[in-house]
Structure 1
């Protein structure tokens, strides 16, 4: 993730925000705050992230855990471990973990929760701890370990609408994820340079995904069972029942959390349009919002049911 993964920037950054960000990155307040002026929150955290002082600080160094364990969120005092899964309301539940943990720099980290927890030692990820401690958290039978599962076909459609249609030319953070797919598909069509404005169809995206080894897929459409690793997750929730997960977290932590999110991308909600799965993004944008059946044809559903069979087995086992 990049610092651009934030809410829309405010016109200027307050001194309070500057001080809190300095404390989080460097463990100190700025020496001459009256001389500091940032036009945006992005500019503030980019400046701190690139500073030599931060790069030389222990706050920039994580342990040797690898994906997926490195990115598991942990709240040691509340004894909660969360497995974030891309496109499964992970922004919301990462923010919920920050809130229930009592992390002192919440205002700062909540404005860019993906980038800041990935790149600064906040104590929110298992990779922030000594390796022995992190492994101890994973092995602790008293930990409330939870994850959110989502119908793989709907998850894939959501990723396509968000990243390959609505935001396909937004910024490098999007093309970092979509680039390998767009290049591979367009190259097979005879194009020498990727054309993100032209993009790819949902059918082409599906065919590309199911032809790939699962471990090599981008995290936003990588099978969900790979996120869970070899660990036991006693508390699995479906995307259609996020409210239950929120309630259980509130009872566990005694912290009031926000209501769970709705479908932000709007994928799969609207009218039916035959052949939408073969249309390019510009044509799709000229239409009203389309129902999921416009994309998820019986043929595509069958392909995804076979490819993501382990994920479907997990979801079917959730009570």
Structure 2
């Protein structure tokens, strides 16, 4: 594997020389906090790094400059490998709330594409100018190849490939699973809280049909879904759902005992 010219997703892997691990970051699965934690492990204050994602890509990513050393360590599995995953229904809502209300760069091509489709149906000028709804976002996702989608809504399985992992944490049990990871790596550096969006539930309005920039709060992910949207996301992210054992409401399965302090690999290879 040539890390200097590594293909996606290998080039996004983050490698710690000091702690001998590979972290596979997945957007909207606490990756902002975990990247800042990696800086803390190396004695760097995250507050002094203005562009953390760019800094990590330049100084830690496998695709940047970890050539022969990284190739040897990864090929011989001498680097502890871990990641965190998240309920696909929840992750998609989190990405929508993070990117669309303020029309951040990843959302712009999607909004433009939906506007073009509206013009094809002779929608009003006001409809062309407004933001899109979660329902329209899901419909657009259903029209594209998710393997080539923007990383915030690309399936999580695609980040992990067919490799085995020493530890797979769950966003739904972030505090407990991160504590287990600390014990495995023998560190007490805390996980910084960053980019967390408070959610409130019990909303009865059809949240999925409200334009993103008109959402006054961050509803619980369940409030975005009716039966048709729930089924659509299940179809789009079937590989993630099968591979990681998620259902819409059910809590994920407990962490495999193989991923404990004996550092044996936990297989999460493709269900297919």
Distance 1:107 1:298, change over 3 A: closer
Partner residue of 1:301 out of 213, 219, 230: 230
Is 1:221 aligned to residue 153 of structure 2?
yes
Task: Please give the alpha-carbon distance, in whole angstroms, between the structure 2 residues aligned to 1:117 and 1:196.
Answer: 38
TM-score by length of 2: 0.79
Among 141, 144, 164, the residue aligned to 2:100: 164
Q: Does 1:94 align with 2:44?
A: no
Cα distance, 1:272 vs structure 2: 1.3
Does the residue aligned with 1:81 lie in a helix, a strand or coil?
strand
d(CA) in 2 for partners of 1:263 and 1:130? 28
Q: Deviation digits for residues 217-268 of structure 1, max 9, x if unmatched?
A: 110010000001232123111111112342233234443222464872235x
Q: Normalising to structure 1: TM-score of the pair?
A: 0.68
Alpha-carbon separation, structure 2, partners of 1:212 and 1:292: 23
Cα gap change, 1:301/1:273 in structure 2, threshold over 3 Å: closer, same or farther? Answer: same
Residues 118-133 of structure 1: pairs in structure 2 closer than 5 A = 118=57, 120=58, 122=59, 124-133=60-69
Please tell me the root mean square deviation across aligned C-alpha atoms, in Å: 2.8
For 1:163 and 1:96, locate their aligned partners in 2 and report how far apart those are by CA, in whole Å.
Answer: 23
SS of residue matched to 1:148:
strand
Query: Which of residues 170, 190, 198 in structure 1 aligns to 2:130?
Result: 198
Contact 1:84 1:147 in 2 (8 A): yes
Corresponding residue number in structure 2 for 1:251: 183
CA contact 2:22–2:80 (8 Å) conserved in 1: yes
Q: How far has the Cα of 1:296 moved from its partner?
A: 1.4
Give the aligned length. 243
Q: Secondary structure of the residue that 2:4 maps to in structure 1?
A: coil
Gaps of 5+ in 1: 1-61, 169-173
Return the alpha-carbon distance in structure 2 between the equivalents of residues 244 and 196 of structure 1.
Answer: 45
Aligned to 1:16: none
**Which structure's CA Rg is the greater one?**
1
Higher mean alpha-carbon deviation, 84-93 vs 125-134, is at 125-134
Aligned partner (choices 85, 110, 118) of residue 189 of structure 1? 118
1:113 to 38, 46, 52: 52
Shift of 1:112: 2.2
Higher relative contact order (CA closer than 8 Å, sequence separation 6+): 2
Distance in 2 (CA, whole Å) between partners of 1:311 and 1:109 is: 36
Secondary structure of the structure 1 residue equivalent to 2:214: helix
Deviation at 1:136, TM superposition (A): 2.0
How far apart in 2 are the matches of 1:107 and 1:283? Answer: 33
Cα offset for 1:109? 6.2
Q: For 1:1-319, what aligned pairs fall within 5 Å after superposition? A: 63-100=4-41, 102=42, 105-106=44-45, 110-118=49-57, 120=58, 122=59, 124-165=60-101, 167-168=102-103, 174-175=104-105, 177-190=106-119, 198-259=130-191, 261=193, 264-267=196-199, 269-285=200-216, 289-316=218-245, 319=255
Task: State the Cα deviation string for residues 112-171 of structure 1 (Å, max 9, x = none).
Answer: 2101222x3x2x221233433222232233322111111111101011111112x22xxx
- 1-structure distance, mates of 2:128, 2:35: 30
CA 1:65–1:302 in structure 2 vs 1: closer, same or farther (change >3 Å)? same
